[in-house]
Structure 1
Amino acid sequence: MHNSWWRNLDIQVVLWVSFLSILGYGAQRAILPWHMSSLGMDPALAGVFLSFFGPPRALMNIVGGYLTDTFRRKVNFLLGVALYGVVGYVVLAFSLNSAAIAASRVLIGLGLAWGTTAAMAILSDYSTPEIRGTVFGVQKGFYWVGIALSGYMAVVAYNRWGFMPTMLLSAGLGCLSLVLIGQLMSSCTPPETGELRLERRNRGWMETFKALARDPRYTALSFGGLLAKIVEDGLVIVLLPMFFAGSVVAAGLSVTAFTVAFAVFQPFGGALSDGWGRKRVITRGMVLTIIGAALLINEPGTVLIVISSFVMGVGVAVLSPAAEAMAGDLAAERVRATAIGYWRFQRDMGSFWGPLILPVITLSIGKDMVLFILIVLLLTSGVACARWLPGKAD
C-alpha cells in the first residue's frame, strides 16, 4: 500500500471527484459577485447573502462527520457531492434574486462540508499514518488546482454563454462525479464492518464531541487551523486588498500569489509530514506564516506585499494537510470521520471570524497592531502544537 496507494480505484475516484465537482464552486467564486452586480443588487446586501456560505459549511463538518461514521462512507460522499455539485449549482443557475442566491450558497456550503468530510474519511481508511499526509496533500492539490483553473474558465464561459449555462455545465460535471462514485467506488471501505458501524451507533455523538473538545491535542490542532483560515480569508483576502495594496493590480497579485502557493505546496506539505512528522511540519508552517505576516509591518511596497502573501501561502499550505492528517491519526477508527469533521469545523470558523472582525479591529487600532496581535496568536499556537502534539516517534 505504501508505494501503490495511487492505484487504488476508490482513492482515484475521490481525487477526480474532488477536481471535477469543485470546478463549479471555483466558477461561482469568480463570477457570482459580478453577476449579482449585473442584476442590480445592492452591494452591501449582496455581501451579506454571499456570507451565508460560511456558517452552514462549518457546522456541517460536525454533522457530516457523525453521519459518515454512522452510515456508509460512500453514501455520505455521494449525497454530499449531489447537494453541492448538482442541486446547489442548479439552484444558483436559476437564481434571480438575493434570497435565492443565499439559499444556493447554503446548499453549496452544506454539501461541500459533508462531501469533503466523507472524502477525507475514505482516504484516511485507505491510508496508514506513514502515507496519510501524502494522500491528503494530493487530494488538496486536485481540489485547489480545480478552483484555480475554474476561475479562468468560468470568466471565459460567462462572457461567451452567460451565467446560467456556466453553472448548468458545472452541474453536469457534478452529475459525472456522481456516476464515478456510484459505478466505480466500493460499497464500503476495509474498516467498515458491521460490528464497527454498530459500535459507532452505540456511542453518542455528544459523548464523542465532548471527548474531542477536552483533548488538548485537538485543541492545539483546532487553534492552529482556525488561525490559518483567519490568515487566508481575513488577512490575505480582505485586509491586503483593503488596507495594504495601493492599487487593484497589487491587490490581485497578492491574492494570486497566496492562491498559487497554497495550491502548489499542499501536496509537498502532506508528503513532508509523512517523512519528518506532522508536528514538525505544522510548527514550521506556523513559522513561515509568521514571517510572511511580519513582512507586512511598516507600509511595505507592492513587491514585498506579494512576497509576504506567497510566504504565508506556503506556510498555510504545508501545515494544512499535516494538521488534517493528524486529526485522522489521533482518532480511533470508529470516530475518525467525526474527529476530522470536528477539526474542519474549528478551522472553517476562521473563514467566518477573519473577514468579520479583522477589518473592524483594523479600523479601530490600525493594521500594524492587528498584525502584531495575529503574530502573537500564531506564536502561541505554535508553542501549543509543540507542547501537546505527539512527535513522529510517538
Structure 2
Amino acid sequence: MSQDDAAFSFKKIALPAFGPSLLFGLGEGAILPVIALSARDLGASVAVAALVVTLIGIGSLLSNIPASIITDKYGERWAIVGAAGLSVIAMLLCLSAPNLVVYGLGILLIGAASAVFNLARQKYLTEAVPVRFRARALSTLGGVMRIGVFIGPFLGALAINFLQLSGAYWVGVGAVVLAGLIALSMPDLVHPGGADGSAPSPKVASIITSYRKIFLTVGIGVLLVSAVRSSRQVVIPLWAEGMGLDATTTSLIYGLSGAVDMLVFYPAGKLMDRKGRAWVAVPSMLIMAGSLLAMPFTGGAASLLLVSLLIGFGNGIGAGMVMTLGADYSPDSGRAQFLGIWRFLSDLGSFSGPALLSAITALATLGLGIAATGVLGLAAAAVLWYWIPRSANPEPA
C-alpha cells in the first residue's frame, strides 16, 4: 500500500463527490414520471408523448463526446457546475414551455446536462480515488444516483399536491441548484493535460484509433450490459399488465425490485476491489439473464415478484460496474475523451435494448422479446468473462 493509499479517506470527498450525485438523481427522478403527462397537456398524442420521454436519453447520447471535450477543457468542478446550471435552465424552460417543441427542447437539454454531469463526476472520482478503492467509489457513485432517482418521484408527488405538475419541476430545480452549489466545494485536481493546460490533450479520433481493440471487445460487453439494464425497466410492468395485475400491484413489484437494487452496491464494489471486476460483472449479468429467461414462465404476482427481486439484485450488484471498467481502461492523457466514447457505447446500448424488445414483441410475442433480452444478458456475461482481466485493481491499458 502506498503512502497516498494509506492517507486516503472517503470522508474527505464524500460530500463534494457523492452529494451532487444524490441531488442530481433526485432532481431527475422528480421529473421523470411527469414528462409524458406534461407532453400530453401540451397536446401530444400517446405515441408522441412516449417519444418526448426518450429525448432525455437522446440528449445524453448525443452529448457524451461534447461532454468529454468540455470536461477536459474546463475541469470536473466547473463542468459539473455548468451542467447543473444548464439543467436548471432546461427545467425552467419546461415549466414555461408554450408548446410541445419548446418543451421537447427542454427535455433534450436535460439529457445533455446529464451527460456532462455524469462524465465529469466519473472522471473526478477516477482521478481522486486510489485504484485499490476505485470500484467501491464508483459503485457508491452509481448507488447514490439510484437512491436519488428512487426518492425523487415521492418528493415530486408531494409537491404536485400543492402546485400541480409544475411542483415536480420545482423540486427538480431546487435539487439541481443544491447539487451545483455543493460541487463548488470540490477541490481541483492536477491533470496530465487538458484542464490545467500543461500539455495538449489527444483528439477524440486518435483515442478511438489507439483504443479500438478495447472498444470492440469490452466496449461491446458494456453495450450489451446497458441493453439488458434498460430493458429490465420495461419488461416488469409490461409482463405484469399482460398477466392482468392491477396498477397498484405492478407498482409495488417494481418498487421492491428497485429497493433491492439500491441495497447491494457497496458490498459488490468492495468485492470488485478485492477479487477483480469479473467476480461481480459476470454474476450480475448471469443473474439478470436467468431472471429474464424465467419471467415468461411466471404465472402470478408471487412468482413475478421473486423474479423481479432477482433482477433487482443482479442489477444492484453491478452498480458502478460500467464506470469502473471505463476508469480501468482509460489513459491518463485523454481520459475525458475515452470516457466520453465509453459512455456513448453505454447509452447506445440503453437505446438498443428496448428497441430490440419492441421489435421482437411486434413480430412475435412479449414473452419471446423478454427471452431475447435474457439471451443478450448471457452474451454480455460471456464477453465480459472472456475479456476482463481476472486480477484485481488492473492498471490502465
What TM-score comes out, normalization by structure 2 length?
Answer: 0.88
- May I ask how many residue pairs the two structures share in their alignment? 388
Q: Give the 5 Å matches for 1:238-249.
A: 239-244=238-243, 246-249=245-248
Instruction: Name the SS for the 1:8 alignment partner.
Output: helix
Instruction: Say whether 1:223 aligns with 2:223.
Output: yes
Q: Deviations over 1:47-68 (max 9, x none)?
A: 2222211122122223212332
Q: Deviations over 1:193-244 (max 9, x none)?
A: 679855452x22111123333325433442343333343344346x435545
Q: Deviations over 1:86-118 (max 9, x none)?
A: 112211221243222211110100000111110
The answer to whether the 8 Å contact 1:233/1:350 transfers is no
Match of 2:34 among 31, 35, 56: 31
**1:189 is matched with which residue?**
189
For 2:339 and 2:236, locate their aligned partners in 1 and report how far apart those are by CA, in whole Å: 25
The answer to whether the 8 Å contact 1:137/1:270 transfers is yes
Which range moved further: 139-148 or 68-77? 68-77
Which range moved further: 92-101 or 154-163? 92-101
For 1:31 and 1:354, locate their aligned partners in 2 and report how far apart those are by CA, in whole Å: 23
Deviation at 1:27, TM superposition (A): 1.0
Deviation at 1:39, TM superposition (A): 5.1
Instruction: Say whether 1:129 aligns with 2:144.
Output: no
The answer to whether the 8 Å contact 1:65/1:114 transfers is yes
The answer to whether the 8 Å contact 1:328/1:337 transfers is no
**1:235 is matched with which residue?**
235
**2:289 is matched with which residue?**
290
The answer to whether the 8 Å contact 2:84/2:113 transfers is yes
For 2:380 and 2:110, locate their aligned partners in 1 and report how far apart those are by CA, in whole Å: 31
For 2:268 and 2:309, locate their aligned partners in 1 and report how far apart those are by CA, in whole Å: 15
Indicate the structure with greater helix content: 1
RMSD: 2.5
**2:97 is matched with which residue?**
95
Which range moved further: 381-390 or 103-112? 381-390
For 1:74 and 1:300, locate their aligned partners in 2 and report how far apart those are by CA, in whole Å: 50
**2:68 is matched with which residue?**
65
**1:309 is matched with which residue?**
308
How many percent identity over aligned positions? 18
Structure 2: give runs of 5+ residues left out of the alignment. none
Match of 2:25 among 22, 37, 41: 22
The answer to whether the 8 Å contact 1:246/1:302 transfers is yes
Instruction: Name the SS for the 2:299 alignment partner.
Output: coil
The answer to whether the 8 Å contact 2:126/2:134 transfers is yes
CA gap 1:274/1:200 in 2 versus in 1, 3 angstroms: farther
For 2:171 and 2:375, locate their aligned partners in 1 and report how far apart those are by CA, in whole Å: 45
**2:259 is matched with which residue?**
260
Structure 1: give runs of 5+ residues left out of the alignment. none
Deviation at 1:170, TM superposition (A): 2.7
Instruction: Name the SS for the 2:285 alignment partner.
Output: helix
What TM-score comes out, normalization by structure 1 length?
Answer: 0.89
**2:274 is matched with which residue?**
275
